[in-house]
Structure 1
Amino acid sequence: LFSVSAPCALKSNTTCDECLQNVTCLWCITTKKCIEYPVKSILPSNSVCPLNDARWGLCWLNFQILIITVSVLAGIIIIAILVCCFCCCKCEKIGRKREDMQMERQTRLRKDRQKARRSEIQMRHDEIRHKYGETNSFFCVA
């Protein structure tokens, strides 16, 4: 069913393509050795194979360039996420300010209308007092 890949060391002194058929193998160009990828250390040390000469996954892709590219892409993604978060927070804050200003404007308009109504009612009361000859502010009820 499943073919068990030959150990990496058996593919030394062959070609990079043959070595990298096994995903766990690392090809070193200078020594032409196919070695087990050092999973515990994440990156292969210079004593195993210099990063510039190491190939993993693809023969044409320099391991050092792969690491740099992945790091740069990760950095760009993180910066993009931070910028998006900053913009969203700022837009939300601007929207809230706009709502607050609108509420304040509506409150001011309401107070102005109330003041106008009060003065209108006061004018009517004054007219009624004047019409019936009462000068004080209390109506006399007999």
Structure 2
Amino acid sequence: MEEKRLLTPCVGLILSLCTVLATQTTSAPHPVPITQPCSFFTGKSCEECLRNVSCFWCTTNNTCLAYPVRSILPPSSLCAMSAARWGACWINFEALIISMGVIAGAILLGIIICCCYCCYCRKGSNSRMDAEEENLIRERERRQHEAQQRKNERTVKHNEIRKKYGLLPDMDHPYSKYENE
């Protein structure tokens, strides 16, 4: 129950963060495919530069540069990571990469924790099932032993009755001497 109380604020925080991010990104004009080169937007605004998804904005010298697609991150010779903007003008590229890494790590950690928890629960339920099976086997053996004891007691009683009335062929009874003559 305590885990649930801890998760509820986290879920609320994540949902509010997603809502804020969604409103920030949806309030900006939708990117329109622009056929002009990125250098055309140098000296203009960051929003105009980022309408073209193949461009990124450098705030140190207000230049719009083509994103180097061959390398994952733009080299520092073009623009410092803290001054580069891509996708949204309100967040720098360095913070974007760090936050995406943290989010991806949290998701991965959550998946790993869920898998471990599920395996732990399954292992616990298997051991409970094994213990129940062992109890059932012991109970069955105990019942079989008691049934065998009752059967032996009945056999002894029946033999005593047969002996009393002379129905046991291999036992000597008082009337055996009269049967052979």
Q: TM-score, normalised by structure 2?
A: 0.71
Question: Whole-Å Cα distance in 2 between the matches of residues 111 and 8 of structure 1?
Answer: 84
Partner of 1:71: 101
Q: Which runs of 4+ in 1 moved over 3 A?
A: none
Shift in CA distance, 118/99, structure 1 to aligned 2, threshold 3 Å: same
Residue 117 of structure 1 deviates from its aligned partner by 0.7
For residues 3 and 104 of structure 1, what CA distance do their matches in structure 2 show? Answer: 70
Match of residue 50 from structure 1: 80
Q: 1:68 to 1:4 in 2, by over 3 A?
A: closer
Please give the per-residue CA displacement for 1:28-77, whole angstroms capped at 9, x wherever unaligned: 00111100001111111111000000001111111111000000000001
Matched, 1:84 2:114: yes
1:110-131 residue CA offsets vs partner (Å, 9 max, x unmatched): 1111111111111111112223
Contact 2:33 2:51 in 1 (8 A): no
The residue number in structure 2 matching 1:120 is 150
- Match of 2:41, as an amino acid? K
Aligned residue pairs total 137
2:132 pairs with 1:97: no
- Which blocks of at least 5 consecutive residues in structure 2 are unaligned? 1-31, 171-178
Please state how far the C-alpha of 1:98 moved relative to its aligned partner.
1.2
Aligned to 2:162: 132
Offset of residue 13 of structure 1: 1.1
> Are 2:34 and 2:52, in contact at CA under 8 Å, matched by a contact in 1?
no
Aligned twin of 2:27: none
Distance 1:117 1:3, change over 3 A: closer
Q: 1:104 to 1:3 in 2, by over 3 A?
A: closer
Superposed CA RMSD in Å reads: 1.8
Secondary structure of 2:141 counterpart: helix
Report the Cα offset of residue 3 of structure 1. Answer: 6.1
Deviates more, 1:122-131 or 1:83-92: 122-131
The alignment status of 1:24 with 2:48, answered yes or no, reads: no
CA distance in 1, matches of 2:103, 2:49: 28
Question: TM-score scaled by structure 1?
Answer: 0.89
Tell me the distance in 2 between the aligned counterparts of 1:140 and 1:83: 76
Structure 1 SS opposite 2:56:
strand
